[in-house]
Structure 1
């Protein structure tokens, strides 16, 4: 297969990736990143560009000369609120923020695809979506809720995520579920403080919190990744004030619920709420409020989309890893499938010795850029019947 990018383009994309890495913006704050992406898309010859989608999202349209299906390729704009620990010259310039999940690399692969679309005739159209707020699970839903979404809504949708621990440039694909559902449960307790010498005159959440810290994790013991897989992880607990003279009158618990299916998640949510209600019955006057955060639905690959990705990888002679179980971590990309697109989340190995996602020293390998662009281009060729690169 002839390369779809020139050597100069590959070098330029690598330099752009490192520049993006230096200036990460977290979910909901991707203003400068979005502006840079919009400029790059305009220079690549996009026929139309939407900005401010679902927050700071950017989408570009590349139209063919004839009518046909719409194919969306999606990547993420946001970085993480984690301090980068690196000696790389392109390390983050922003304290407490870093592109430690590889979204900088994902963006550049999609921009590389834009360079190929500007000169390739096709029917149908391609939408390149640079989505905001993936890390919080809010971005995809916000984009779909944007009143301009009907102008964009695709027939097919594809996305990448890099995977540390897998061989460099290996393509991984799940048949069916690809990413677990998850959500954060925060419980705030309100009682009444009292002097530590007279705790009976107050209303302490301590006993209820202690019971829930034992019972809530039992809702999801983990185990084999099957349809009934569920994992409940206690992530934070706070009781009262750091004092010896005050019996506590408030507290907070945080828990992450995770499941392979949305139906199993619904059951976990109901069970968690029932446990809380039962615990509150044991302490008169104690009140509690649940709020839900970082809500991710399960991502499920459509068979047709998975077949297209598999065929593209085979045509490019790329190593493939057929995954029998989904990733435990979550992705909000699944919402595009629920919105009606025939979709698939693809995985690309970022190296067996690569630090894990969200590690403070993670850095996306630029060597993946040509492979990522070539696979996306091949998928588009298959759907839109454009001339091949043989």
Structure 2
């Protein structure tokens, strides 16, 4: 077992939610401090870390971003290195992401290239979103990359597969939290109440018209309500209902349209059911748009490697706050196959760990080429 697989297993046991990654940050720092320090500098940003490796004769700065947080999921893998944090799990592969990043850092501390390298260990990708505020931080602004890269594990592809595409890769996303406030009362006297179970139910039904009748059919959008809560007992009419969901689109324009239609539908519900509503779109993520030139160069390199299986992927409705970095810096993201029977955010996700060393080897070779050694 390689040391980076061991690191992945260590990190898998201590998943933490966004901006709570205290143990994770300390683990990463402890490892980074064991590496040669002559060319390496580090900065702390909240629960994240920024690492710079100075090049021999730098003409640009190449960036790599990895996310470090976990999810509020109860792990069910039964693995001997399962999460020790109850109700928390690395169910999106960020433990794999971190171990790969540490492997690449390790290589270049002893094998510097001409150009500078900056490694961003970013907190809170799963929420509330760490990329956007990190981009605005003084710490990162001082070491801002000229181009930037990242990966995300893909359970559906065999271990070590590289998959990506130029242009749009991940969708625009927005959370959706809606509260309906009416008047409760006894179930036998509905005429004296304003029933928020009925109001919320009508609203959920009307939401379905947004995609079918308000979004360009040549574009794509998804509006999903994943959670609905209302009432406390069977014979009392609820004075409050809450909906929680998500909006995902393949263009910023479709996102704006979807949000405006949600607001319009809410105004109609307020009038029809004589109630009040409050909406919070929470944190939204900007689309992951791979720079065509940067991605074309990357794809060509991957296709030339006989030990790499490259797949031209399609865009996906998944969201990733790496999009905020790509909005300002030319770069790209790719999928890394990890061959799991269970998908992302599943309590039984179990990535094939052989992908870790394959990814480290591929990335170090690519960065070496980029760095003009």
Give the structure-1-normalised TM-score.
0.89
Is the CA contact 1:81–1:96 (under 8 Å) kept in the aligned structure 2?
yes
Is the CA contact 2:163–2:335 (under 8 Å) kept in the aligned structure 1?
yes
Structure 1, unaligned stretches of length 5 or more?
1-9
Is 1:287 aligned to 2:251, yes or no? no
State the Cα distance separating 1:226 from its structure 2 match.
8.2
State the Cα distance separating 1:227 from its structure 2 match.
5.8
Instruction: Indicate the residue corresponding to 1:349 in structure 2.
Output: 337
Is the CA contact 2:42–2:49 (under 8 Å) kept in the aligned structure 1?
yes
State the Cα distance separating 1:136 from its structure 2 match.
1.7
Find 1:296's aligned residue among 271, 285, 288: 285
Distance 2:341 2:281 in 1: 33
Distance 1:263 1:232 in 2: 15
Is 1:381 aligned to 2:368, yes or no? yes
Is the CA contact 1:227–1:260 (under 8 Å) kept in the aligned structure 2?
no
Give secondary structure in 1 for the equivalent of 2:169: strand
**More deviation, 210-219/298-307:** 210-219
Q: Deviations over 1:148-190 (max 9, x none)?
A: 2211211111001111111221110122111111112111111
Is 1:370 aligned to 2:357, yes or no? yes
Instruction: Indicate the residue corresponding to 1:252 in structure 2.
Output: 242
Find 1:334's aligned residue among 308, 323, 334: 323
Is the CA contact 2:155–2:351 (under 8 Å) kept in the aligned structure 1?
no
State the Cα distance separating 1:59 from its structure 2 match.
1.1
1:110-129 alignment, distance < 5 Å: 110-129=101-120
Distance 1:227 1:304 in 2: 25
Distance 2:233 2:251 in 1: 40
234 and 302 in structure 1: CA distance in 2 versus 1, 3 angstrom threshold: same
Is 1:267 aligned to 2:278, yes or no? no
Distance 2:293 2:217 in 1: 22
Instruction: Indicate the residue corresponding to 2:30 in structure 1.
Output: 39
Instruction: Indicate the residue corresponding to 1:361 in structure 2.
Output: 348
Q: Deviations over 1:67-112 (max 9, x none)?
A: 3111110111111111111222111112111111111111011100
Instruction: Indicate the residue corresponding to 2:173 in structure 1.
Output: 182
Give the structure-2-normalised TM-score.
0.93
Instruction: Indicate the residue corresponding to 1:6 in structure 2.
Output: none
Distance 2:254 2:137 in 1: 29
Distance 2:66 2:324 in 1: 14
Is the CA contact 1:227–1:261 (under 8 Å) kept in the aligned structure 2?
no
Give secondary structure in 1 for the equivalent of 2:26: helix
**More deviation, 369-378/153-162:** 369-378
Instruction: Indicate the residue corresponding to 1:50 in structure 2.
Output: 43
Instruction: Indicate the residue corresponding to 1:231 in structure 2.
Output: 222
1:119-158 alignment, distance < 5 Å: 119-136=110-127, 138-158=129-149
Instruction: Indicate the residue corresponding to 1:305 in structure 2.
Output: 294
277 and 226 in structure 1: CA distance in 2 versus 1, 3 angstrom threshold: closer
